[in-house]
Chains A and B, each alone.
Chain A
C-alpha cells in the first residue's frame, strides 16, 4: 500500500494511531506528484517546503495531545481559493504572479482543523469551462487516459484525486465545475447547497451560484471534509444560520432501506450516451433491489435551466470580473496610455477568449434595454426551476440522475462554445435551484473512462444526499484505479 493512495478517512486513522506522521504522508504525496504530474498536469504550483512545514506543525500539534478528523491530512486547493503567501492565479494571465495576502474562510477552517494545504490545482480560467483547456497557465490531462480532458472547471483537483496525486482536494462549482470533472476522473465531488460554505476569499465567478466543495476518493471522505468547511463566519452575507449536522454520521451503516429515490424523467433525453443512461438505470435498480423506494419524478423546467444559467452566470461574472482592471493587483498592459486604455488593454491582454466572451455576453444581457428581457426574466424562470425541485423533494429524499451526457471527451475536440456549454446540462439545474448535489463514480465506460451518477437533495438536506450516495457506493463496491 502506497501512502498516496489513501483517502481522508484512512489517512486520518493512520495518523491518529501514530502509524504514520503527516510529514511522511505529505512527502509521499509530493513524491507521487514529482513522479507522475509531468503526465497529468494536475497542479499549477506546489509549495513543497510550505506543505512540509505545515505537516510538521500538524505533527507537533498531535505530539502535544491534539487529535482531529483532519489533523495532518494534505488537501490540494483549486487555484482560486486564497491561501496566504501562496499564488492564486485563477489560471489566468491577469493574475500571474499574484500572491494571496490573506486566507479564505475555507482555508482558515482547514488550517484550524490541522489539514495541510498541499498544492494549487489547475482549472479553466476563472472557473469558466468544462475541460480545463481554458487554463492560460497549463494543460491538465485525464489520469485514466492522457488523451482525454479531465473535465472542468475543477479539472486539476479531479485529476489529482482521481490519479492519486492528492489525498483529497477542494474545488468550486458554479454550474457543475466540481461534479462534472469528478465524474470524468472517477472521484466523488460535492456541490453543497447554496449558502452552506462561505465564499469569502474565493474568487467570485457568479455570486448567486458559486459554492466550494470537497473532491475525494469516497463518499465518507467528502462528508468529513465538507463538515470542516461549513458554518457561518460573518464574512459571507448569503449564509443562513442553518445548523451543521454531522454529515459523516449519515454515511455510516449505509443502507438504501427506507430511502425514497426519484429518477427525473427529463434527464434521459436524446443525445445522452447509452452507456450513461444504462449506468443510471442500473444504479436505480440496484438501490431498489436493496430496499429503496424508486419512483419516476418530473422536473418540467429542466430545459430552461440551461438558458437561465447562461444569462445569470455571465451577467454576474461581468460584474465580478470588473475588479480586474490593472490598478490594484495583477497584470497591467504596458500599452496603457490613459485610464481608458489601461482598462481596455489590460483586460484584452490579460483575459483569455472564453472569459472575454462571457464578460461581453454578461454585459450585453445587463445593458440598457435588455436587462428586463434577460436578467430580470431569467430570475423569474429561476423560481420555476426551483419550484420543480421543491415539488420533487416533497416526495423523495434524493434524486438519482446522470452527471454528464457523455464520458470525458478528447483533448482539443473542437467544440463550439454553445456545444461545450451543453455538456453541463445535467449539473446546471441543481445549481440554478441552489440545492445540494454530488457525483459518485459508478463504473467504467467501454472505452475505459470513468462514469458517474448524481445524487441531488433539497437545500440544506446534505444528510439525505450523503445517506443515498453512501448506500449506493456500498452496493457498487470498489472502483478500479487508473495506471499512471
Chain B
C-alpha cells in the first residue's frame, strides 16, 4: 500500500520539536521508509479482532484511595531549571501577566 508524503514540519510542530532544514529532510526520507515498513499491518484482516492495549488482558489494579505522604515542595523544586522560592519559573504565558 502506498503512503502519502509525511508533512514532517507539521508533525514536528505537534511534537513541539524545532527541526533544522537538514533534520527535516533526513527524517522525511527515513520516516517514509519506516512507515512503508509498518504499512505491513494493513495486509491483515483484523475484522472482529479485539485490540490488545497492554501486554496481556488487564484490568486496572487500584490501591485504596488514602492520603499518603508526598514529596515536599523543596524536593520537587530541586531539579528545576529556573524557579522562585516556591514555584517553577516560566516565560510569560498570558499577555499582560507577570512572568
Contacts and interface: CB of A to CB of B under 8 A. Distances in A.
Chain A's interface size range is: 35 or more
B61 to A, nearest CB: 5
Contact of B80 (A329, A360, A373): A329
Nearest to A390: B56
Interface residues of B, number: 52
Contacts of B35: 361, 364
B52 A459 contact: no
Interface in B30-73: 30-31, 33-35, 37-42, 44, 46, 49-56, 58, 60-63, 71
B31 A384 contact: no
Contacts of A377: 41-42, 46
B53 A326 contact: no
Contacts of A208: 53-55
A240 interface: yes
Given A101-B71, A337-B91, A357-B31, A363 B41 contact: no
B40, B41, B50 interface centre (most CB from chain A within 10 Å): B41
B27 to A, nearest CB: 6
Contacts of B82: 332
B85 to A, nearest CB: 16
Interface string A347-362: 1100101001101110
A344 B30 contact: no
A434 B54 contact: yes
A275 B34 CA distance: 29
A325 B17 contact: no
Contacts of B52: 379-380, 382-383, 386, 434
B92 interface: yes
A195 B55 CA distance: 8
Contact of B37 (A98, A301, A310): A310
Contacts of A311: 38, 41
A421 B15 CA distance: 22
A142 B20 CA distance: 34
Nearest to B24: A360
Contact of B61 (A237, A353, A356, A431): A237
Contacts of B75: 101
Nearest to A344: B18
Nearest to A359: B15
Contacts of B49: 380-381, 383-384
B19 A338 contact: no
Contact of B41 (A308, A348, A435): A308
Contact of B56 (A101, A365, A459): A459
Given A208-B53, A307-B37, A367-B11, A101 B61 contact: no
B18 A303 contact: no
B44 A345 contact: no
Given A195-B55, A363-B11, A379-B53, A329 B79 contact: yes
Contacts of B6: 364
A361 B31 contact: yes
Contacts of A234: 63
Contacts of A364: 6, 11, 31, 35
A39 to B, nearest CB: 32
A326 B82 CA distance: 9
A345 B90 CA distance: 14
Given A208-B55, A237-B61, A238-B54, A347 B44 contact: no
A378 B76 CA distance: 37
A348 B12 CA distance: 10
Q: Which 6 A-B pairs have the closest CB atoms?
A: A434-B55, A194-B55, A379-B51, A234-B63, A329-B79, A332-B81
Interface of A: 98-99, 101-102, 193-195, 208-209, 232, 234-241, 301, 303-304, 306-308, 310-311, 318, 322, 325-332, 336-345, 347-348, 351, 353, 356-357, 359-361, 363-365, 367, 373-374, 376-384, 386, 416-418, 421, 431-435, 459
Given A99-B79, A329-B79, A381-B46, 16 more contacts: A101-B78, A194-B54, A208-B54, A240-B61, A310-B37, A327-B88, A329-B81, A332-B82, A338-B91, A339-B90, A342-B90, A344-B16, A344-B18, A357-B31, A386-B56, A434-B55
9 contacts: A99-B78, A193-B56, A304-B44, A356-B27, A359-B17, A367-B11, A377-B41, A377-B46, A384-B49
